Structure formats: C-alpha cells, structure tokens
Amino acid sequence: MRALSSFRNRLPFKLYPSASIESNNKIRNIMSASDESPCFSRPRMVAKKVHGKLSHDGDGAVVRRAIGRGDLRSLDPFLMLDEFSVSPPAGFPDHPHRGFETVTYMLQGGITHQDFSGHKGTIHTGDVQWMTAGRGIVHSEMPAGEGVQNGLQLWINLSSRDKMIEPRYQEIPSEEIKRAETDGVEVRIIAGESMGVRSPVYTRTPTMFLDFTLKPRAQIHQSIPETWNAFVYTIEGEGVFGTVNSSAVSAHNVLVLSLGDGLSAWNRSSKQLRFVLIAGQPLNEPVVQYGPFVMNSQAEIDQTIEDYQLCKNGFENAKYWRSQSQ
C-alpha cells in the first residue's frame, strides 16, 4: 500500500484548492395504495442533473463523485456524495476529518473501518455508519473482502456551533433499519420519516435519507420539508421524477430538486428502480474546505492544519496511531 499517511507534515490527501466556497427493529408497515395521490401541494421538479463522473480517490479507489466537484461543488448542507467501488488492495487508508459528518451506506460487500481511538468494525450490505467527525477523527476505511465493495458516502456539513463537538458513531445493521412497504414500493428509512415510519438515527444537521425500491409501474409521493435542499441519486434502473411526462433518468445521476413540499417519482420501465432521496436543512454559513477539513473561515482551516500536524485539540491520538493492515 502506498503510504498515504506516512508524513504528517505532508498533508496526506488531495487538495481541492477551488473548493473554498463563500457563502428497532424490523417494522413492516403494509400500507394501502394511499400513495396514488400526493399529500403535498408544491411538487418539486428536477432543477439540475449531474452524472457521477468516474474518478480516483484514496489509494486506488474508484469513485463516482456527483456532489463535491465540477459545477456542483456543494448543496448546502451536503458537501460530497461518492458512489465508491473498492477492491483490495485499494481503499481509503489513514486520513483525518474535521467539521462534518460522513454517512457510509453499503450497497454491496463490506468496508472495515478503524480509528485512532480504537473504534473498529465492519459494515456490510445494507448497513449504515453515521459518523460525526466533529473536532477530529483519523481513520482508515478499507474493503472487508475480496472483489468489489460498493456503497455511497455522503458528507453532511455541521453548523459552526457543532463543528468542534466530540466525535460520535451511530451504526445501524441492515436488519435494524426500519422499512415500510406499499404496492410495489419498499422504502428503507435511514434518516427521517416515510410512510409513517421514523428512523431512530439522530442527525445534528436535520437530514432525511430514504432508500426507495420501486417495482415496474409503481410510484411514490414523498413529502419533504419545504425549505430543505433535496436531491435524488439513482442507483439502479430508470426513473421519472417531478412530473410524470418528464424523460426517464438512468443510474448514477444526481438530480437536484427545486424547492417544494414533496417529490413524486414513477417507474415506467420494465425493470426495478432504486434510488435514494436525501434532503437537509441548509446551514447558510460560509464554507471553507481543505480536503477532509471543512470549517467556516480560512483562519479555522489554518488552525485545523496546525492541530492535525501537532496532534492537538482533538487530534491527540493521531500521534502514535497507525491502522493495522487487514
């Protein structure tokens, strides 16, 4: 493995110079076909479509980054969305985070994470790790088995008052993720609420994260808080979003939604459609990003780099810690 983390005074991650921006449980709810008509009045439309372009990150990992690059630098409070595919020996070796949360949702396979406080574990298909980096975490995220390990990683910004909180993990195994079903639709509720079912995950920055699977001819009408920023990421199949006669969108696209109080989506194809619907309350704060450090000002970024290099203010454990190879 290339030494991504060997030299603490060389920052072990890619810099994004232009990334500085101003500015329990099994519940099965069998519902009637109540989704035939929307329970909202201002439907959201697709304002922008961004294809997740293939690129490389970490150490040989392949990512489709749809938020956090190009013309979708961020979507307040979201900083990054990657669909990652890693197979050994590629992965994301020892690297730091400060100032935001990472949500890792496995689509296929497993990722083993280890951090500088001794926290260690593996998440598998359908499991979620909701990690609040807060004032600082240094960790590695590496494939847990042979072959391709595939999932989504979302970065959610923290408000200025939460950036320096104690790090925290919420790990939800697949079988504990609440779900609801209605005709031809299954939703896994990772954060927020759908079809009357609520997730127990606590989100510092108010966030909705729903994973929908629609059989052919199925449709959904999901309410969304009116002023939150929201997007869809298509995982599998082809879907119609916003209005029934808009053109179908294929897999690996982010659809940024206009404001409104809900989203309608239809599967008009002959194959299964799967997508995530993610929404969050905007923070409306300045964002200054330096790779995996996200603060409100350049002075706070300079302080963070110093804290990391000198192993202080939350990075104390980074002094002697190195991840163990699998």
Regarding 291 and contact with ligand FJE (CB under 6 A), the answer is yes
Q: 46-51 and 53-57 as β-strands: parallel, antiparallel, unpaired?
A: unpaired
Regarding 212 and contact with ligand FJE (CB under 6 A), the answer is no
Q: Which stretch binds ligand FJE (CB under 6 A): 57-65, 116-124, 170-178, 234-242?
A: 57-65
Alpha helices per DSSP H over the chain = 298-309
- Name beta bridge partners: 132: 101, 168
Please name which of 113, 129, 133 lies closest in space to residue 121, comparing C-alpha atoms.
113
- Given 153, 182, 253, 304, the residue binding ligand FJE (CB under 6 A): 153
- Given 19, 62, 63, 276, the residue binding ligand FJE (CB under 6 A): 63
Regarding 130 and contact with ligand FJE (CB under 6 A), the answer is no
Residue 57 vs 211, nearer CB to ligand FJE: 57
- Given 127, 292, 311, 315, the residue binding ligand FJE (CB under 6 A): 292
Helix, strand, or coil here: 308? helix
Residue 84 vs 308, nearer CB to ligand FJE: 84
Regarding 58 and contact with ligand FJE (CB under 6 A), the answer is yes
**Radius of gyration for the alpha carbons in the chain, expressed in angstroms and rounded:** 19
Residue 35 vs 82, nearer CB to ligand FJE: 82
Regarding 144 and contact with ligand FJE (CB under 6 A), the answer is no
Q: Which stretch binds ligand FJE (CB under 6 A): 55-63, 195-203, 229-237, 307-315?
A: 55-63
Half-sphere exposure of 160 (CA within 13 A, CB side): 9
Please name which of 291, 321, 301, 9 lies closest in space to residue 138, comparing C-alpha atoms.
321
Please give the Cα distance from 254 to 80 (Å, whole number). Answer: 11
Q: Which of residues 12-41 bind ligand FJE (CB under 6 A)?
A: 13-14
Per rule CB under 6 A, count of chain residues that contact ligand FJE: 15
Burial class (CB in 10 A: 0-12, 13-18, 19+), 122: middle
Regarding 57 and contact with ligand FJE (CB under 6 A), the answer is yes
Q: Please, are residues 279 and 255 in contact by the beta-carbon 8 Å criterion?
A: no
Dihedral sign of CA atoms 306, 140, 168, 227 in order: positive
Regarding 141 and contact with ligand FJE (CB under 6 A), the answer is yes
Nearest approach in angstroms of CB 19 to ligand FJE is: 9
Regarding 69 and contact with ligand FJE (CB under 6 A), the answer is no
Please give the Cα distance from 205 to 159 (Å, whole number). Answer: 7
In the complex, which residues of this chain contact ligand FJE (CB under 6 A)? 13-14, 57-58, 63, 82, 84, 92, 95, 104, 111, 141, 153, 291-292
